[in-house]
Amino acid sequence: MTKLVLLAVCLAAACSGDDYNPTIDPAHFVSGVDNQFFPLVPGTVFDYDVQETDEMVKVTVLSETKVIK
C-alpha cells in the first residue's frame, strides 16, 4: 500500500506540468552539517533494515568531500 501511495505522489508531481528549476548558488553552501536531528559525524554508521525483505542498508559517514561540477 505504501509503495502505491508513493508511486501516485511521484506520478502526480511528474505530471503537474510545473518545471523544477531552482537557482543553485554555491555561495549559500555550508562547509559542514550541524543538524541536531541528523548529525553526520564522520565515522558514524547507520544500519537500516528494509522491511519485508532480507536486505540491510549500511550508510557510513565519511570525512571526504567531493566537488561536483
DSSP string, 4-61: HHHHHHHHHHHTS---------GGG--SS---TTS---TT-EEEEEPTTSS-EEEEE-
**pLDDT at residue 66 in the model:** 84
The model's pLDDT over 9-43, given as tens digits with 9 standing for 90+, comes to 556 666 666 789 999 998 988 877 788 898 888 99
Cell numbers that stand for 35 in this block: 543538524
Query: Is residue 61 over pLDDT 70?
Result: yes
Note the pLDDT of residue 57. 96
- For residue 63, what is its C-alpha cell? 570525512
Top-confidence residue, 63 or 8: 63
The pTM (predicted TM-score) of the whole model is 0.47
* Alpha carbons 68 and 59: distance in angstroms, whole number: 20
The SS3 assignment for 69 reads: coil
